[in-house]
Structure 1
Amino acid sequence: MVIKTQFEQGIVELVEDLANRPDVHYLPHHPVIRKDKTTTKVRVVYDASAKTSGPSLNDCLDQGPKFDQKILDILCRFRTHRVAVTADIEKAFLMISVAAKDRDFLRFLWVDDAVKDEPRIVVYRFARVVFGVNASPFLLNATI
């Protein structure tokens, strides 16, 4: 259900060209199930730090500079103006597009319908920034 919704929203896309190429990467993932939640009971977590042989995806990416802000600096800036604005962007990482040429590094395997007698494995890839990749916080901060 989660992936179907993300597909409909353009967050992930189906990979049609499954040619064996060296410039692709598959993200491992697992579900996190929260029975105590009423809205999001199942969340998919992607692990860009996982490795089998050779480096992980996170090992190959530049993390970018940190945008660490000191709390004292934030509070001082907050108090220097008459009006302060704050925001909480829902699913912020998923609002930022990934360049088409880089999307094949964000592939993952999924089952089309787990309740079918013979479910089929399909390949998706992210069209948006993925939470769990070490460069994602930089990309979000730079975009904001």
Structure 2
Amino acid sequence: MSMREGAARKPAGNESTIDLTPMLDVVFIMLIFFIVTSSFVKEPGVELMKPQATTTEACERGTIIFAVDSRGEIHYDKNRVSLDRAMRLAETAKKEAPQANVVIQVDRETPAFAVEQLIDELRPMLTAPPCISTDDEV
């Protein structure tokens, strides 16, 4: 018996193997799909004591988030920004996500004029009224 004849023989018994390659292909395709279609929210990065509200409505597609702290300083993506830079950042974020709305998080001690200035600055690029983030009444 030659070596080739011995190598061509299958081992005795009924051994079968499962090919996992198609399953891994599907898993990787799903992973790529979820990574590509997900949107990441940029948190403003400042701790706020939000005011309470008796009536609230959910803000649809609110993913451009600014925060105005108790000193009237504006924060975006964990950085303090000036009023004119807030407009440029909002325009850039709007290009990335055209359906996104602006959400403004405020502190209980935030001066009203600071929020008004921010809204006035962002008004030209707004497609819907900005949402003000609050806590539910307890």
**Shorter-chain TM-score tier:** under 0.3
Max Rg structure: 2
**Please, what TM-score do these two structures have when normalized by structure 1?**
0.23
- TM-score for both structures, normalised by structure 2: 0.23
Q: Which has the higher contact order (CA 8 A, sep 6+)?
A: 1
